[in-house]
Structure 1
Amino acid sequence: MAGAMLLTGVVAVGPSAAAAPAPDCAVPFPVADLTSGAAVHGLTVSRGTTPQEFTGEVLGVLSDGIAPGLDMVVAELDSPAIDAAGGIWQGMSGSPVYAEDGRLIGAVAYGLAFGSSPVAGITPFEDMQGYLGAAKPAPAVEVGPRLAARIAAETDATRAEAAQGLRQLPMPMGVGGVDLSRARKAARAFGGSELLTADSYRIGRSAGPASAGIDTVVAGGNVAAVLSHGDVTFAGVGSVTSVCGDRVVAFGHPMSFTGKARLGLAAADAVYVQEDPLGVPFKVANLGDLGGTITDDRLAGIAGTFGAAPPSAPVTSKLTFEGRSRTGQTQVLDKSAFADVTLLGGLANHDRLVDGVIGGSETQAWTIRGTRSGQDFRLRYADRYQSPDDISFTGAFDLANVVYTLSTLSNVTITAVTNDVAVSDDERRYRVAKIYQRTGGRWVDVTGGTARVRAGKDLVLRTELAGSDGTTRTFFRQDIPVPKSLRGERGIVSVVGGNLFQDEFFEPTTFDAVQKMMRNNLRNDEAALSLLIGDGRSTFERNRTSDPLPRVVGGQKQVRVQVVR
């Protein structure tokens, strides 16, 4: 079910050393044999790792309620925990519901659309056994007037509320390792996130050295599907429906409905169930041992195999600030998490080490390793960033954009991302202020004016930078030979600071474009001079780039050029 949205804790990087979970190899109860009013019982966890029992009564069966050929069983459930929460909760998805004879009817997976209620939509275990998932997802299930009247008669819901139907219990993503308000702000500036949404919950930190072992992943127990773990954790927590041999089936509905999957299978330890008077209650849980792979993300639930976790790729942020250093690392199991982990992992490491929202500057040096069509590649880039307000935020996006593009390419596999960052509270910067021409044995300010040069001679220019602290710096002398053939022609020379441009790394959409930009992009601490002379039929063009400077450079100045005889 909906992911218990606050996940956390210590995550083992390999299979748990604990004993394997106890199998139950449940026998399915045919939905066709269910009758209205039949007593049911089930297992779920509201606190800790040990499943507790709940009871209930079948209210009816919605034929094709989830999808064509996939019915939904509707039942009213009861237990002290359900009563205390005001109804079933996010994180209860997958909780097994049994008939009186012990056969497994199915998994709690849906709740009334209007809000918190003890009424549950149950995915039949007959269908979960086969891990079905080729049908279209059904975001809402209509309830007919007869069943709506029965729900109203048996529960606190009104007939109008019941008639709104049932919907999949929410599955927001649990996010750990970064302040959620900062993460959402970064995601908005990044152009959105598929993982981090308004419904995502913050992950806490478990209070003790012990974490839930993989042996606690039993029928009715907690289970987590993990996309990344380490500095930044992305995971969804729900409940186990059945374990048989080395396989487990859970949730009773999809997580992301990808069909085939490659997520981490982990245990979880429930802290409590949080009431929510405006929505659906949710389970608060700590992520436990990682001990398997989620292989299927299907319409009727998720399924996985105990043992080795899927291969992971590290995203590493190495940071220094005022003599201190910290290396943060996140292991990414699913490629859909690469960009978000890169963005939020860098931001989290900044916030942890810098320990405040400050203005300043920083240098970054990236290395991205991977394979493209089976061939190894290594991409490298370095730059400088500056902000008067929040240097941690300003420098967070370029690398994440590149990683996003690469992670969406079908023939590219990222194997490691590393960013070496040196942060300073120095907020000073430069801007292009003036352009001088060497003429008549002296330097003449020609900014905004005209530089005249004889055909066949050198056009000699230099640039003056103005510092934000009131200082000036003269640099970047360029001696450009002008051919005799350009007599009488006119042109323009422009000097631009690299920090004038923003968001360049949003643009590339192919591997070749990414590679070209990382090789040729104008750094924020460089300046570029471009000269263009001619009428379009025959043009003379020269481009020069300065060496990197100790500050970012912004601004732009132009000078007209006239070639005289």
Structure 2
Amino acid sequence: MLLAQPDKGPTRLPWVLLQTVTAVALILCAASCPPATAQAPEILPLSEVRPGMKGYAYTIFAGDQAEKFDLEVIGVMPNFLGPKQSVILIQLLGPKVERTGVVAGMSGSPVYLEGKLAGALSLRLGIFTKDAIAGVTPIEDVLQGKQLGAGQQPAATSFPLSAETVSHGYVPAGSSLEPIDTPLVFSGFPPLAVQRFTSQLSGYGLVAAPGGTAPPRVDDAHLKPGDMVGMVLVQGDASISAACTVTAIEADRVYLCGHPFLNLGSVSLPMARSHVLMTLSSSLASTKIVNVGGPIGTISSDHLTAVTGKLGAPPPLIPLDLTFAANGAEKKLHFEVVSHPKLTPLLMAMSTFSGLTLNSLYGEGTTLHVQGEIRLKGHSLVRLENSYAPGDTLNPDSFPVAIGVQSAHRELARPQVVHDRECLARKGRSATR
């Protein structure tokens, strides 16, 4: 049963603002390190890109050190993603990338031609391909951050190659380029929680990946092109985050991914440093296994050609407090969820489901009594109360509770900002408080 905790009045602060600790550090790099400047990089315009040009890119395969790998330009595909949205087609070269292919989490890796920044690695060519063929978003598009309307989706998630490109013999007929997968790291969420919400997650083009969290470091905010950055969706006793590679840094502005994360337009998501444990090679889909570290700023824009963020303080999140009570015992969990009308209901449901299912007090075959409250900024308190009897299907008994929480937030969070969320779950035959 979920019971509401007493309203503590307007003096209660619902948000915990995390402040980035900054420090001054001297970073010594070998010649193979990417440029460590926060100034505007010297760029190579798309008009100067030619087939056969040799270049290199940076990405992290393990640890925190970006590694250099070679590449060659196959050609330029004008208007490939849409009007005035061209793509540079390249082949990755070298023993490591030839073994891994294009890796999930490699999105945004800075690509250099003639020593100048030419773009961000962003697209991959199908699966089971023998050659590591990838697409690059031109750097002009990355830095300009050409905007789509908030919530507007691209016309397609995969893009067939032209007959001219195929005829050169680089790729087989019927091939298509699609955005490199962005690993969505679930830490503290059981596989069952991911499975139950797979259909909703896949609708956003998200791929679940193993990973965890890492404690904040004083140098987390000292970024270089090729470093990994996370986009936090849930944090606290469990976390959900995604990770991309940094393409460029201008002053306090960070450009990453080279393609959209969720294509939500203007957003406000915590930006965090990410650390690569290893790169898992697979003929189906290689991926980076990452730990998400300390907060370093705010993701502010999520559009077709890049995700952009600003170094500094992260945005406030929505607290979600769960208390599960059974047989005189209680267990409390705390989560913090991003505020977005499309994301918040799903993330609240997943956090509630995970908190109930992974609870030592939880057991199947019992009635769950739910009471809770949702505080909306500028609105009166919304109270929830319901009871859920054990079902006769294979769905966990906690699943209807999670769906009920999701439905409530879907209806309430559209025009408003959710201020706070508290609930308590009790297992038993009747409500006692």
Normalization by structure 1: what TM-score?
A: 0.65
Aligned positions of 1:59-208 closer than 5 A: 59-85=74-100, 87-100=101-114, 102-116=115-129, 117-134=131-148, 136-150=154-168, 152=170, 157=171, 159-160=172-173, 163-171=174-182, 173-185=184-196, 187=197, 193-194=200-201, 200-206=207-213
Instruction: Give the aligned residue type for 1:421.
Output: A
Indicate yes or no: 2:20 matched with 1:16: yes
2:41 to 14, 21, 26: 26
Among the aligned pairs, what percent are the same residue? 22
* Mapped contact 2:269–2:338 kept (Cα < 8 A): yes
**2:3 maps to what in 1?**
none
Instruction: Give the aligned residue type for 1:282.
Output: T
Single out whichever of 352-361 and 125-134 deviates more from structure 2: 352-361
What RMSD over aligned residues (CA atoms) do the two structures have, in Å? 2.8
Instruction: Give the aligned residue type for 1:36.
Output: P
**1:459 maps to what in 2?**
none
- Distance, in Å, in 2 between the alignment partners of 1:80 and 1:267 is 28
* Mapped contact 1:232–1:341 kept (Cα < 8 A): no
* Mapped contact 1:292–1:307 kept (Cα < 8 A): yes
Indicate yes or no: 2:424 matched with 1:420: yes
- Distance, in Å, in 1 between the alignment partners of 2:82 and 2:97 is 28
How far apart are residue 376 of structure 1 and its match?
2.5
Q: 1:308 to 1:94 in 2, by over 3 A?
A: same
Aligned residues: 398
- Distance, in Å, in 1 between the alignment partners of 2:296 and 2:215 is 18
Unaligned runs of 5+ in 1: 1-11, 429-524, 526-547, 551-565
**1:378 maps to what in 2?**
381
Q: 1:241 to 1:199 in 2, by over 3 A?
A: closer
Single out whichever of 13-22 and 102-111 deviates more from structure 2: 13-22
Larger-Rg structure: 1
State the secondary structure of the residue aligned to 1:205. strand
Q: 1:254 to 1:71 in 2, by over 3 A?
A: same
- Distance, in Å, in 2 between the alignment partners of 1:303 and 1:413 is 23
How far apart are residue 28 of structure 1 and its match?
1.6
- Distance, in Å, in 1 between the alignment partners of 2:328 and 2:179 is 51
**2:31 maps to what in 1?**
none
* Mapped contact 2:325–2:361 kept (Cα < 8 A): no
Q: 1:321 to 1:195 in 2, by over 3 A?
A: farther
- Distance, in Å, in 1 between the alignment partners of 2:244 and 2:138 is 17
State the secondary structure of the residue aligned to 1:82. helix
Greater RCO structure (CA 8 Å; 6+ sep): 2
Indicate yes or no: 2:60 matched with 1:45: yes
How far apart are residue 368 of structure 1 and its match?
0.5
* Mapped contact 1:263–1:293 kept (Cα < 8 A): yes
- Distance, in Å, in 2 between the alignment partners of 1:97 and 1:384 is 56
**2:308 maps to what in 1?**
303
**1:218 maps to what in 2?**
224
Q: 1:140 to 1:381 in 2, by over 3 A?
A: closer
- Distance, in Å, in 2 between the alignment partners of 1:165 and 1:96 is 22
Single out whichever of 252-261 and 196-205 deviates more from structure 2: 196-205
How far apart are residue 45 of structure 1 and its match?
0.8
How far apart are residue 122 of structure 1 and its match?
0.3
* Mapped contact 1:212–1:267 kept (Cα < 8 A): no
Normalization by structure 2: what TM-score?
A: 0.83
How far apart are residue 270 of structure 1 and its match?
1.0
- Distance, in Å, in 1 between the alignment partners of 2:295 and 2:215 is 15
State the secondary structure of the residue aligned to 1:419. strand
**1:238 maps to what in 2?**
244
Any idea what the Cα deviations from partners look like across 1:238-280, whole Å, max 9, x if unmatched? 11000111000011111121221211111111112222323x3
* Mapped contact 2:326–2:361 kept (Cα < 8 A): no
**2:399 maps to what in 1?**
393
Q: 1:182 to 1:165 in 2, by over 3 A?
A: closer
Unaligned runs of 5+ in 2: 1-15, 25-35
Any idea what the Cα deviations from partners look like across 1:296-343, whole Å, max 9, x if unmatched? 111111111000111211111112234443221221223233222322
**1:55 maps to what in 2?**
70
Instruction: Give the aligned residue type for 2:286.
Output: P
Question: Which protein is richer in strand relative to its size?
Answer: 1
